[in-house]
Structure 1
Amino acid sequence: MACNGLFGAGQGGMIAPVDLRRTFTLQKAELAVFNRNVEELLLDFEIIYDMAKLLGEDNQRSYQALYVANQMVNLCDVNDPGTYATVAKLASSFFSQKNGDSQHMIHAMGHCHIDSAWLWPYEETIRKCARSWVTAVQLMASYPDFTFTCSQAQQLEWVKTHYPGLYSQIKDYVKLGQFVPVGGTWVEMDGNLPSGESMVRQFLQGQYFFQEEFGNMCSEFWLPDTFGYSAQLPQLMNGCGIHRFLTQKLSWSLVNAFPHHTFHWEGIDGSKVLAHFPPGDSYGMKGTVEEMLKTVRNNRDKGRVNSGIVLFGFGDGGGGPTEKMLGRFKRMKDTDGLPRVHLSTPDQFFSALETNTSQLCTWVGELFLELHNGTYTTQAQIKKGNRQCEQLLHNVEFLGSVARAKDDSFIYPASKLQHLWRLLLLNQFHDVLPGSCIQQVVEDAMHYYEEIRTGGVKLLDEALKSLIGTLPQPQLTPTSPAVMVINTLPWERTEVISMPRPSEEEKLGLVKVPSMGYVVLPENISPCTPVTVTMQDDGSVTMENEFLAARFDSMGRLTSLKLLSCNRESVPSKSYGNQFVMFDDIPLYWDAWDVMDYHLETRKPVTNLINNVQIRSSGGLRGAVTFTLQISDNSTIDQEIILEAAAPYIRFNTKVKWNESHKFLKVEFPTTVHSTNATYEIQFGHLQRPTHRNTSWDWARYEVWAHRWMDLSEYGFGVAVLNDCKYGCSVLGNVLSLSLLRAPKSPDATADVGLHEFSYALMPHERPFQEAGVIQSAYNFCIPLLTTSSPVTQHSSWSAFTVSSPAVVLETVKLAEKRSDTLVVRLYEAYGSTVDTWLQTSLPVKEAFLCDLLERPYDLQNVLSEDGRVKLSFTPFKILSVLLVLQR
């Protein structure tokens, strides 16, 4: 019997592209009679022999084990089964020698970490879950003390749909306390790249699922295997009813060993969670003596804690725990010479730990994995799809909420939005969004993004149609429709837009649109200082608007960028900004995952010019120049550099035809700024990382991640780089580098091959980046104004929400999950300051209540003032959510 196309069975090893032509032949099948007595004796001997071998020559107990093992061999006669009882009695006598009260306690719990997609597609994961969980359920019937932890609501939902009989059994064992749902999230997502709101939705969808299906929400966040952990996660956990955290992946750090296994983790806002890393550095243990001893020996918090977790079972669909593993734990339960082993649950472990945490250390800030930093860049199309879909759903929810508030007949598309959100959350799994998956998974992910785009655009159009229907309708049909411009962000915006004019050439307009609202423009274009673009005799080009004066050489490299308000030069002399650079990119092993520090030694500027700089638009509201570079025989860069009126940054619209192998493309911006730290946007805030390499901890951050912006500032002046879909970046010395494309060949040989379109921008600024509007500009750069035709011709404007402090960002407006008459408004403090602000809305609101991230009110105190405003108090990076009850 032959089979082919086994996922994870690629050429040259497991971590390789799937080889669909590879076949496997079953050559032999045997039937055997299971002898329980022999199995028990073998387990007895294994444990005692391993103790003799591993406890050490200086340990008296190891010699006792050695002599007992020797006696067992001497007494056992395979030709005389009657000797088995005598040998078993000898082993039992050895195991009956108990520990003292001070012995380390291991909380062992069954586990089967199953990647929702990795070297196999989503469809295969459904079968993996069923195969593994059937095994766990069968063991529970025979071993009432056996406990099994299971995370990821998505996987449980799959089994509910495809294997309802198994799911019914699972629910029965959940009630018995043996099958233990953990984690609280929809999937075990990547810990770096999802937006703050996406992370909220991971918990929101996950916790509601666990509550509805099993009667309880999870009390611990379970993320064993991911590639780093955002410093905002503690606050997000706390806001979703979670104060406990388990992971293991930091043990993979390549440079520095993380100093703790049990500790308090503090986020950027001061929120804390109790964190535990299983000291055995694995989430797939087999229950051996060696693993138990390592768990004790490796514990970096000896004296502070006297317990640790062991997760045992074959992972990734391998079947989970086995009867043999349970047999090992039975023998090690309380045997002198070994740590005590107790079949336990996460709640039992953390509850015992919480009785005294006074001696635990605190780690402040991000948990940075010093490995797998290539995942910030690999599979660029997945990362672009994630960013675009996050922003699309943001717009749909805001406009749907406004339509619901203004039009009683509008039905908010709650179920459709939940479906789209769950698709997006699924793609944020920690081997999909990071790009460390096979080609079939990439194809699945791109299909889901397209479904989100198609469905989201349809919902957006329906909300816009409803919103337009609330406008005063003209008595006469206008000869030419006016333009409605919609701003979904919480501040006034003045920007250049393309005015919709069917069957005509593109017409630009400079518009001012109120906060989270719209403006209707018949033909009105705001006055402004025009952009000028001039070609110089040497082939270079100058571009200037009211804020910036830039000069590019004939190759599109930035040779000068002055901020006119202070006449400060941003580019050092004899340096080039917008310099594309190629690196050799050959990791030691984890191809799609890693970019090693030695790649920095292979820097090669891209200087082969195909088409030098040409002026596409000479000025007015928008100036533009283009050029083309040759990367290699198979790869090119086409770029359009744009400077618009009233814009504080220069935009670089980029198309790359990419067909490389083990290469890394970046773009560099050297600056005249000197600072020992750079600032990077993370979820609902920002943090600083060093620009130097003083210590090994600094050096390990040679490639880091950010969301929409990074900034390098000294007092009074700085330079920021914005982007629309990139995450990998770095700042070394005075050079900001944005990572653009990689070319790994495993586990997807086609990774990133093809055409890519993306944009980034350079923004010099006076004053601190907070006051200079870098945060707002990055939002504007990523979330364009929306335009549509309006039946109303007279000028009008309207704003749904305003926030009085620029330090506070109104991130999300949505309908509440459980109430059709209530909106949820989510805000966060973005500057790192303590501030009071007023939230004001023109929507018909009768009551307002503060709530947590799961939309549960803190109390029933109405915080809406008599004049229809809500006063909110923020500390640095604080997230607040408000329930707004609509008048009906």
Structure 2
Amino acid sequence: TPQRIPYDEAVRQEFRPAKVGDSFGPTWETCWFKVELSIPPAWAGREVHFVWESDGEGMVWRDAQPVQGLTKEGEKTSYILTRSMKEPEPRSLTLYVELACNGLFGAGKGSMIAPPDPDRRFTLSKAELVVFNRDVYELLMDLEILLDMAQLLGEENQRSFQALYTANQMVNTCDVTDPSTFPAARDLAAAIFSQRNGESQHTIHAVGHCHIDSAWLWPYEETIRKCARSWVTVVRLMECNPELTFACSQAQQFEWVRSCYPGLYAQIQDFVAKGQFLPVGGTWVEMDGNLPSGESMVRQFLQGQRFFQEQFGRICSEFWLPDTFGYSAQLPQLMRGCGIGRFLTQKLSWNLVNTFPVLKTVKNNKDKGRVNHSAFLFGFGDGGGGPTQKMLDRMKRMTDTDGLPRVQISTPDRLFSALEKESSQLCTWVGELFLELHNGTYTTQAQIKKGNRECERILHDVEVLSTLAVARGSTFQYPASQLQRLWRLLLLNQFHDVLPGSCIQLVVEDALQYCAGEQGVWLGGHSPSGALWDLLGGAAGVSVLDCQEDGSIAMENGVIRESVPDGCCANQFALFDDVPLYWDAWDVMDYHLETRKPVTTLLKPLEITLAGGLRGSASFSLQIGESSTLTQEIILDATCPYLRFLTQVEWKEAHKFLKVEFPVQVQSTHATYEIQFGHLQRPTHWNTSWDWARFEVWAHKWLDLSEHGFGVALLNDCKYGASAHGNVLSLSLLRAPKSPDAMADITHHQFTYAVMPHLGSFQEGGVIQHAYNLNFPLHTVPASPAQCPAWSAFSISSPAVVLETVKQAEDRPEAVVVRLYEAHGSTLVAWLQTSLPVQEAMLCDLLERPVAQGRLLLEQRGLRLSFTPFRVLSVLLVLRQ
């Protein structure tokens, strides 16, 4: 069936005979098998397995419950029917196998990240009942460990020779035709494994793990089954290995299993209570660490931590983000505000240029002299799978063996507790954790990124208007459940292979459908209108002059000043060859900069479209590359300090990168980029390898290059990739990778960016506020002055403080949460005034829990709030009823 049908529906279908060697498909279809088996009486007392091998992912069902995941790529090809057949165990039974026509890593053709082959077939290569010879298996494990020691410890290590000599003795002792020789051979190995380490040996904290991308080379719906296949296998392992611990992140995945596999979820809850199945991370999904807004990051923790508290009775104490493409400098503050003081990642070991000083292996441990503990997460991942029995059996032999690190099954809490005891010895990293790889993800799949920015804006506005409607005594009911559902959809789309665009076409379609659904829920319409100009009355205007001699057009509004160096052209489009070494949708390599070609072919010359008054504009069209076109309207509004570029592109390129460049009359060694709840500076030069590695970076609504007294900002409404080199500001517009989505970005695009010269610093010039204005246009409602008297809900005394969020409190419908942050990088006191009927006010954390000594006095000037640079404050306002 093309659908993923549930068990109850599947077993009611009519089955036809199938045999080993049959193939099934095509890709993404599901096949259900009814397996009737009978264990021979002669196998009484033996360990009996059901073996199933296929290049598709399988799940064994027994008695209407999932009992075992089967994935050849994950080294799981058998289900243990019985460890020792005894009476009155049933010798005959019926199993069902659900086979997904995709592998652990999707269905790429020729390469893991290639687009899925839609016509791929999946073959059943083995379906057998077998007796498992555990004595042979244990002997094999002993030999494997000894041979690994001999090979990996190296010739300079005496233990490698001891291990090799022992393995040789075992071969001489063991007769494979005579099982009675096995114990003597195993005793030889046990003698090596029983030799203990000294007290100084490094300790590795081993935790079972199964990184499951919530979507990547497979769609969301397949991830639900991946979670079930992987986690039911972990449950089976825990039943036989009570020492096993397993760390599992992403509240969304728990919610999927809770909804679709309630029986399995109940077993998971039992093992959570036993301290073996360990919910970690505290977020709704393992989101991208760069592109979500500050408020979106808060909601990742808010939704995730609340779920873990409700379902398991506790919140997570560690932020678990092993595989995202960089980490915002704001994350530590947001983590602390959500009850988290610990952080785990391994992705920075992927750095392309500079070696990042983090723990990787014992040999590569950069902190050897400072700490004696490190983490080892074991299990198949990305596509699921998790730990295997073989991994556990190997680990038992290495628990405390002389010459090897001391390996202990542990938990994240025990690891971090051990590190915290030595925290005074640890180093500190200040600022963002920039991944020197995968910087193409700031631009790939532009429609997903545009949808993300629009949905963030819409949810912000819905919450503000809904809160104010309720607070002013309206009969309107705050749509809490609808907003939670919409937020969770947005948070899901911010997963670190979806929002970055490193996913297959099926995932893109899902994500865009979710975005469209969110935008359709807007309460009462949200089209910005020209009513702003009605408010200007007879204020200043725009003049547009057509210069006949060279065809140029001059636009002026008395606010914007010239900022382009003589002989240079701003708003210059440039096309680059974009062929990374391997990770196509992910990477932009530095050598692409050598292929720059200016876009100069006019399809339609510059012409005036609005002649002036309150608005003036001109438009033109360009050909880009072989077959793409760009049409742009350049808009200047009265009293507006920035020039807007409303852009439409029909994009049909392959492995090309489109940017727009603004050379400016500014000199500075650093440019400033907006990040979540603040900004940071990055170099405009390539003095060192660390500087050069930032040839392509990310920003949110603006970037700015300023010298003393003057600067130029580049604003945008949905772009994230950017750079500033020398005096050239560049915005990355579109890419055209072919893997894992062969059609990535090949469609119509519409976006807006703006250039804003300003006097003074970007703080003094109001860049932050105007970037908000570009992204959050006014909403207007037709009404007379009598119907809508002048009214202001909130005001803040300092332009350095941004009031970011107004929402109803999660657990207190009579309370409002207001979130503010210091945006300039300064220490100050600001007064928050409100016309809402506030009865009580207090500071709360990002989980909306009141903080100790956080009560605020209701003074005549408002609420007194103290800020340090980029501090995020949440205020809980309890309203009079």
- Quickly name the TM-score band, shorter chain normalised: 0.7 to 0.9
SS at match of 2:870: coil
How far off its partner does 1:720 sit? 0.3
> Is the 1:128–1:316 Cα contact (8 Å) retained in structure 2?
no
| Equivalent position of 1:528 in the other structure | 539
How far off its partner does 1:9 sit? 1.8
| Equivalent position of 2:378 in the other structure | 312
SS at match of 2:131: coil
The 1:861/1:827 distance shift into structure 2, 3 A limit, reads closer
> Is the 2:580–2:587 Cα contact (8 Å) retained in structure 1?
yes
Match for 2:160: what amino acid? S
How many matched pairs? Answer: 782
Q: Residue 412 in 1 paired to residue 478 in 2?
A: yes
The 1:795/1:386 distance shift into structure 2, 3 A limit, reads closer
Tell me whether 858-867 or 57-66 shows the greater mean CA deviation: 858-867
SS at match of 1:445: helix
SS at match of 1:391: helix
CA–CA distance in structure 2, aligned partners of residues 883 and 669 of structure 1: 43
Tell me whether 639-648 or 865-874 shows the greater mean CA deviation: 865-874
| Equivalent position of 1:11 in the other structure | 109
In the TM superposition, what whole-angstrom CA distance separates every residue of 1:744-797 from its partner, at most 9, and x where no partner exists? 011001100011000000000000100110000000011000012115557832
| Equivalent position of 1:442 in the other structure | 508
| Equivalent position of 2:552 in the other structure | 540
| Equivalent position of 1:383 in the other structure | 449
> Is the 2:673–2:702 Cα contact (8 Å) retained in structure 1?
yes
CA–CA distance in structure 1, aligned partners of residues 682 and 415 of structure 2: 34
> Is the 2:542–2:613 Cα contact (8 Å) retained in structure 1?
yes
> Is the 2:806–2:817 Cα contact (8 Å) retained in structure 1?
yes
How far off its partner does 1:864 sit? 3.1
- 1:628-643 matches, within 5 Å, as 628-643=621-636
| Equivalent position of 2:72 in the other structure | none
| Equivalent position of 2:745 in the other structure | 752
How far off its partner does 1:316 sit? 3.0
| Equivalent position of 1:509 in the other structure | 533
CA–CA distance in structure 1, aligned partners of residues 807 and 786 of structure 2: 30
| Equivalent position of 1:2 in the other structure | 23
How far off its partner does 1:387 sit? 0.2
Q: Residue 206 in 1 paired to residue 304 in 2?
A: yes
Q: Residue 297 in 1 paired to residue 321 in 2?
A: no
In the TM superposition, what whole-angstrom CA distance separates every residue of 1:689-727 from its partner, at most 9, and x where no partner exists? 000000111111000000000000000010000000000
How far off its partner does 1:416 sit? 0.4
How far off its partner does 1:546 sit? 2.0
- 1:573-652 matches, within 5 Å, as 573-652=566-645
Match for 1:546: what amino acid? G
1:141 to 239, 248, 257: 239
Match for 1:530: what amino acid? G
Identity of matched residues, %: 69
Instruction: Tell me which of the two structures has the higher relative contact order, counting C-alpha pairs closer than 8 angstroms and 6 or more residues apart.
Output: 1
In the TM superposition, what whole-angstrom CA distance separates every residue of 1:315-370 from its partner, at most 9, and x where no partner exists? 13442101100001100000001010000000011011111211111110000000
CA–CA distance in structure 1, aligned partners of residues 125 and 256 of structure 2: 34
| Equivalent position of 2:158 in the other structure | 60
CA–CA distance in structure 1, aligned partners of residues 291 and 637 of structure 2: 30
Tell me whether 628-637 or 710-719 shows the greater mean CA deviation: 628-637
CA–CA distance in structure 1, aligned partners of residues 822 and 538 of structure 2: 33
How far off its partner does 1:28 sit? 4.5
Q: Residue 85 in 1 paired to residue 183 in 2?
A: yes
SS at match of 2:851: coil
CA–CA distance in structure 2, aligned partners of residues 124 and 182 of structure 1: 22
SS at match of 1:342: strand
CA–CA distance in structure 2, aligned partners of residues 861 and 160 of structure 1: 37
SS at match of 1:12: coil
CA–CA distance in structure 1, aligned partners of residues 486 and 787 of structure 2: 37
Match for 1:373: what amino acid? N
CA–CA distance in structure 1, aligned partners of residues 226 and 392 of structure 2: 22
CA–CA distance in structure 1, aligned partners of residues 738 and 857 of structure 2: 57
| Equivalent position of 2:836 in the other structure | 843
| Equivalent position of 1:187 in the other structure | 285
> Is the 2:664–2:727 Cα contact (8 Å) retained in structure 1?
yes
1:322 to 363, 374, 388: 388
| Equivalent position of 1:132 in the other structure | 230
How far off its partner does 1:866 sit? 3.8
> Is the 1:848–1:864 Cα contact (8 Å) retained in structure 2?
yes
Q: Residue 820 in 1 paired to residue 813 in 2?
A: yes
In the TM superposition, what whole-angstrom CA distance separates every residue of 1:64-101 from its partner, at most 9, and x where no partner exists? 11111110110010111000111111111111110111
Q: Residue 498 in 1 paired to residue 530 in 2?
A: yes
Q: Residue 73 in 1 paired to residue 176 in 2?
A: no
Match for 2:557: what amino acid? N
CA–CA distance in structure 2, aligned partners of residues 143 and 325 of structure 1: 12
| Equivalent position of 1:673 in the other structure | 666
Q: Residue 874 in 1 paired to residue 871 in 2?
A: no
SS at match of 2:423: coil
| Equivalent position of 2:437 in the other structure | 371
> Is the 1:816–1:855 Cα contact (8 Å) retained in structure 2?
yes
In the TM superposition, what whole-angstrom CA distance separates every residue of 1:529-560 from its partner, at most 9, and x where no partner exists? 11000100210000000202xxxxxxxxxxxx
CA–CA distance in structure 1, aligned partners of residues 257 and 384 of structure 2: 17
SS at match of 1:862: strand
CA–CA distance in structure 2, aligned partners of residues 319 and 233 of structure 1: 29
Q: Residue 657 in 1 paired to residue 755 in 2?
A: no
| Equivalent position of 2:731 in the other structure | 738
SS at match of 2:782: strand
| Equivalent position of 1:341 in the other structure | 407
> Is the 1:823–1:886 Cα contact (8 Å) retained in structure 2?
yes
> Is the 2:227–2:384 Cα contact (8 Å) retained in structure 1?
no
How far off its partner does 1:813 sit? 0.4
Match for 1:540: what amino acid? S
CA–CA distance in structure 1, aligned partners of residues 810 and 126 of structure 2: 56
| Equivalent position of 1:707 in the other structure | 700
1:797 to 787, 790, 794: 790
CA–CA distance in structure 1, aligned partners of residues 440 and 780 of structure 2: 37
TM-score by length of 2: 0.87
CA–CA distance in structure 2, aligned partners of residues 311 and 757 of structure 1: 43
How far off its partner does 1:230 sit? 0.3
Q: Which runs of 5+ in 1 are unaligned?
A: 262-278, 280-294, 465-484, 487-496, 500-507, 512-524, 549-562, 564-568
CA–CA distance in structure 2, aligned partners of residues 837 and 53 of structure 1: 65
Match for 2:828: what amino acid? V
In the TM superposition, what whole-angstrom CA distance separates every residue of 1:386-419 from its partner, at most 9, and x where no partner exists? 0000011000101111011002522111000000
SS at match of 2:607: strand
How far off its partner does 1:26 sit? 2.8
SS at match of 2:253: helix
How far off its partner does 1:45 sit? 0.8
Q: Residue 249 in 1 paired to residue 261 in 2?
A: no
CA–CA distance in structure 1, aligned partners of residues 466 and 516 of structure 2: 20
How far off its partner does 1:859 sit? 3.0
| Equivalent position of 1:154 in the other structure | 252
| Equivalent position of 1:225 in the other structure | 323
CA–CA distance in structure 2, aligned partners of residues 420 and 174 of structure 1: 29
The 1:322/1:359 distance shift into structure 2, 3 A limit, reads same
CA–CA distance in structure 1, aligned partners of residues 340 and 596 of structure 2: 45
Match for 1:48: what amino acid? L
2:766 to 773, 778, 784: 773
1:727 to 720, 729, 736: 720
Q: CA RMSD in A?
A: 1.4
How far off its partner does 1:526 sit? 2.1
CA–CA distance in structure 2, aligned partners of residues 95 and 163 of structure 1: 41
How far off its partner does 1:31 sit? 4.0
How far off its partner does 1:30 sit? 4.4
